[in-house]
Amino acid sequence: MIIPVDDSTDLSCDVRGHGRPVVFVHGFPLRGLMWARTAAMRPANRRAIVPDLRGHGASPPARSLRIERMADDLVEILDALGIAGPADFVGLSMGGIIALDLWRRHPARVSSLVLCCTRADAESPEGAALRRSVADRALREGSAPVIDAMLPRVLGSGVDPAVRGLWRGLMAKTSPATIAAASIALAKRRDSTGLLGTISCPTLVVAGEHDVITPPASMERIRDAIPGSRYAMIAASGHIPPVEQPTAFSEALNDFLTEIDPVTPLDRRA
């Protein structure tokens, strides 16, 4: 479905099933489709809400992006769906950064967090310079060369070649303007390390065993900073476990989601 936000932008959003809402927030430069298997395998008592973030997927390209605006978009999507209370948020990489911003500014809308292969720190000066050069290159040369340079770090070496080809093609469809805008948004992201100790909702931290972008050691630091958080490491995965190891990722996710809200015999997945 199409959900208008911020008065002027139509976001594409897949909504499936009934029950307690769980919002799946994709990374950069990905799209909601990265959660297709995860949403299909979700617990029977969950309603899956899977947006294409501003600029990404079937949502219109964006010339300028901010993490805070993308977080506000998620709140507006919940409002538009008539969900006034909190939801579970599952965020990968940039999606996890957005989920942390939700906890910072809209904690009443967050009932639990899953932070997968993501970052809590601000960008380093070297990292910010690199992201600015990615933005410039996308605007100068188009999306495909940027994606080709990025892909070996995004997907682990063990990923099925057909899956790699599919995601190469989908990522390369992201507009150069969006790649540039998201790179700048990531470069300007706030430091959330101090926020981690304030997280009081149930939280699962997920790492990919072979992730070189947000390696397990960095995810363990996030886990250690969040009181009472659970942790799962997905074997044989790079930076995108829901795409690379969908079954193992869903098992870890569903264990968490059903622990915080068990499925009953009356729940039926639609």
SS3 of residue 122 by DSSP: coil
Nearer to ligand MLT, 28 or 35 (CB): 28
Nearer to ligand MLT, 103 or 167 (CB): 167
Q: Does 178 bind ligand MLT (CB under 6 A)?
A: no
Token pair belonging to 225: 């900073």
Stated length of the chain: 270
Q: Which residues within the stretch 117-156 sit at the binding site for ligand MLT (CB under 6 A)?
A: 119
204 Cβ contact partners less than 8 Å away, ≥ 6 residues apart? 112, 113, 114, 115, 229, 230, 231, 232, 252, 253, 256
Nearer to ligand MLT, 16 or 132 (CB): 132
Residue type, 110: V
Nearer to ligand MLT, 83 or 151 (CB): 151
Task: State the nearest-atom distance from the C-beta of 27 to ligand MLT, in Å.
Answer: 3
Q: Does 186 bind ligand MLT (CB under 6 A)?
A: yes
Nearer to ligand MLT, 86 or 95 (CB): 95
CA within 13 Å, CB half, 72: 10
Q: Is the peptide bond before 29 cis (omega within 30 degrees of 0)?
A: yes
Task: State the nearest-atom distance from the C-beta of 208 to ligand MLT, in Å.
Answer: 11
75, 94, 185, 205: which one binds ligand MLT (CB under 6 A): 94
Answer whether 73's CB lies under 8 Å from 51's CB. Answer: yes
Binding mask 45-84 vs ligand MLT (x if CB under 6 A, - otherwise)? ----------------------------------------
Q: Which residues within the stretch 212-231 sit at the binding site for ligand MLT (CB under 6 A)?
A: 213
Helix 143-154 × helix 161-172 angle, to 10°: 140
Sequence-ordered strand ranges (E) for the chain: 2-5, 9-16, 20-25, 46-51, 87-92, 110-116, 203-208, 230-234
Number of residues that bind ligand MLT (CB under 6 A): 7
Task: State the nearest-atom distance from the C-beta of 219 to ligand MLT, in Å.
Answer: 13
Q: Does 27 bind ligand MLT (CB under 6 A)?
A: yes
Residue 220 vs residues 105, 120, 177, 237: alpha-carbon distances, Å: 24, 12, 34, 16
Q: What is d(CA 95, CA 107) in angstroms, rounded to the nearest whole number?
A: 16
Task: State the nearest-atom distance from the C-beta of 186 to ligand MLT, in Å.
Answer: 5
Q: Does 28 bind ligand MLT (CB under 6 A)?
A: yes
Q: Does 93 bind ligand MLT (CB under 6 A)?
A: yes
Task: State the nearest-atom distance from the C-beta of 31 to ligand MLT, in Å.
Answer: 11
Task: State the nearest-atom distance from the C-beta of 53 to ligand MLT, in Å.
Answer: 10
What does the binding site for ligand MLT look like in residue numbers (CB under 6 A)? Answer: 27-28, 93-94, 119, 186, 213
